[in-house]
Amino acid sequence: MRKFDILFIGLMLFSMFFGAGNLIFPPFLGAQSGTAFWLAMAGFTLTAVGLPFAVLLAVSLAKGGAQAIGNRVHPYFSAIFMVIVYLSIGPFLAIPRNANVAFEMGVMPFVPESASSALVLFLYTVIFFSLVFVISLNPSKMEKYMGRWITPALLLSMVVLCAVGFANLDAPLQAPAADYQAGAFFKGFLEGYNTMDALASLAFGIVILTAIQQRGVRDEKQLTKYTLKAAVIAAVLLTLVYVSLGLIGGKMAVNGPFENGTEILSAASTLLLGQSGTALLGFIFTLACFTTVVGLTAACGQYFSKLIPKATYKSVVLVITLVGFTLSNLGLSQILKVSVPFLVTAYPLTIVLITLAFFNRYFKNTKKVYGSAMLFTGVFAVIGGLNTFGLDLGPLQTLREVLPFSSVGLEWVVPALVGTGVGLLLSAFGRKQEMAENQADVKAS
C-alpha cells in the first residue's frame, strides 16, 4: 500500500473522530482550568486520544474485532453491549448531537430573529442527512471524499482560526475554577469521556480495516500495522487541535464568564475576525460534525447489516439516517440530557474491557476473569450513571462515596481491580479442581 494511502486513511479517521464534542470541550476546559491547564489537558488527552488509540489497537489485534473481545465475557454480553454502543454513538445520541451542533453554529447565527428556528432546523437537517446518506452509501469512496477533500479543508480552517488566536490573544491564564483547583488531572480525565471517541473506536475499527483491505491488504499483521499508522496520524492531529483550542479557551477566560465551549469559540472568532470569524467557525463546525456523522452512519451500517442477515447495508443506512434526522429535530438540549449519564456508565466498562484485552494472554482468555471484572465494574458504573441523573440511591450512594477515588468520579477503579482479582482466584481454583479430577480419573483407570 502506498504511503499516501495510509496518510489519507489517517486523515479520514481524524475527521470521523473530530466532531461536536471535540470542538466544544477543549476550549471550555482551557477556560476553566486556567493555570492548571497542562495537568487538566494531560488527563483529557488520556481519555480523548490515548483511550481511543488503545481501543483501535485492541480491536485490530483481536480476531473478530470488538465483538470477539466482548465474547470473552459472554456472547450475550457482547451482543447487548455492542448494540447499545452502536445505537448510542449512532442514531440515538452522537449523530443527532452532531447534526444539532452543526446547525447551532453554522446556521443559527445567520438566521433572522423573525424566522421559525424549528422550520429552519427541519430544512437544514433534510439537506444535511440527504448528503450523509449519499456519501455513506459507498464506504469505498469515503477515504476519497473525507481524507482527500473535506479533512484538509477542515484542518486549514482550524489552522487559520488558531493562528489568528495565538497572534492576537495574549491574556495570561487565570486562576482555576473550583472544579480544577484540586484534582485537575482527574477532572480533565472525566471530561475526555464527552468526546465519545473511545466508544466510537469500537465502531470505527471496522471502517478502517475495510478501507485498508480494499487496497489489497489481507495479512493480519499488515492490517494491524497499517491500522496503527492511521491511528497515530489521527492521534497526533487530535492532540494538536485539543491543545490549541484549550489554549485559546484559556486566553479567552478574561472575556467571560462563558457557559460552554461554543460560547468561547463564538466570542473568540467574532473578536478576532468579526463576521468573517463567525462564518469561519460555522464552516469548521459544519465540516467537523458532518464527517463524524458520515463515519458513524457507515460504521453502524456495516455492523447492523452483518448482525441482521436479511438487512442490506443500504437499508440499514437509510433507517439510521431517518432516525438521526427525526431525533435531530427534537433539539440539542434534550439530546445532551441523556449523554452524560450514559457516558459515565459506558466508559468504565469500555476501559476495563480493553485493559483486560491487552493482558489477555496472561490469564488465557478466561471468561471468569472477564465476567467478574465486568460485573464489579458494571454495578458501580450504573450507580454513577444514575447518580448523574440526580437520583439518591440511599445505601448504595453511601457505599459509592466511601470508595477510593469517588471524589474524582473514579469510584469504579477499585471494584474493577477487586473483580479482576476474584476472577483470577476463581480461575485458579477451577484449574486446580480440574487437575485433581483428572488425576483421580487416571488413578481409577
pLDDT at 407: 78
Co-location of 258 and 383 in the same domain: no
Q: Higher confidence at residue 351 or residue 342?
A: 351
Domain count of the fold of the chain: 2
pLDDT at 153 over 60: yes
Q: What is the pTM of this model?
A: 0.79
Co-location of 285 and 393 in the same domain: no
Structure confidence at residue 303 as a pLDDT band (50, 70, 90):
confident
Query: Could you report the per-residue pLDDT of 395-415, keeping only the tens digit for each?
Result: 877 777 888 888 777 888 899
Query: Could you report the per-residue pLDDT of 348-398, keeping only the tens digit for each?
Result: 888 898 888 888 877 776 788 889 999 999 888 888 878 777 777 778 777
pLDDT at 338: 65
Which CATH number belongs to the domain containing residue 74 in this structure? 1.20.1740.10
| Mean pLDDT for the stretch of residues 147-159 | 79
pLDDT at 139: 66
Task: With respect to residue 350, please indicate whether it lies within any of the assigned structural domains.
Answer: no
DSSP per-residue letters across 80-131: HHHHHHHHHHTTTTHHHHHHHHHHHHHTGGGS-TTS-HHHHHHHHHHHHHHH
Q: Maximum CA pair distance of the chain? A: 91
Percent of the chain with pLDDT over 70: 91
Task: With respect to residue 337, please indicate whether it lies within any of the assigned structural domains.
Answer: no
Percent of the chain with pLDDT over 90: 22
Backbone angles phi, psi at 169, to 5 degrees: -100, 115
Co-location of 135 and 47 in the same domain: yes
pLDDT at 147: 61
Task: With respect to residue 240, please indicate whether it lies within any of the assigned structural domains.
Answer: yes
Domain hosting residue 132, numbered range: 3-332
Task: With respect to residue 405, please indicate whether it lies within any of the assigned structural domains.
Answer: yes
Report the C-alpha gap between 319 and 336 in whole angstroms: 22
pLDDT at 126: 94
pLDDT at 435: 58
63, 69, 70, 74: CA torsion to nearest 10:
80
Co-location of 151 and 102 in the same domain: yes
pLDDT at 315 over 90: yes
Q: Higher confidence at residue 123 or residue 335?
A: 123
Co-location of 277 and 381 in the same domain: no
Co-location of 368 and 283 in the same domain: no
Q: Higher confidence at residue 252 or residue 146?
A: 252
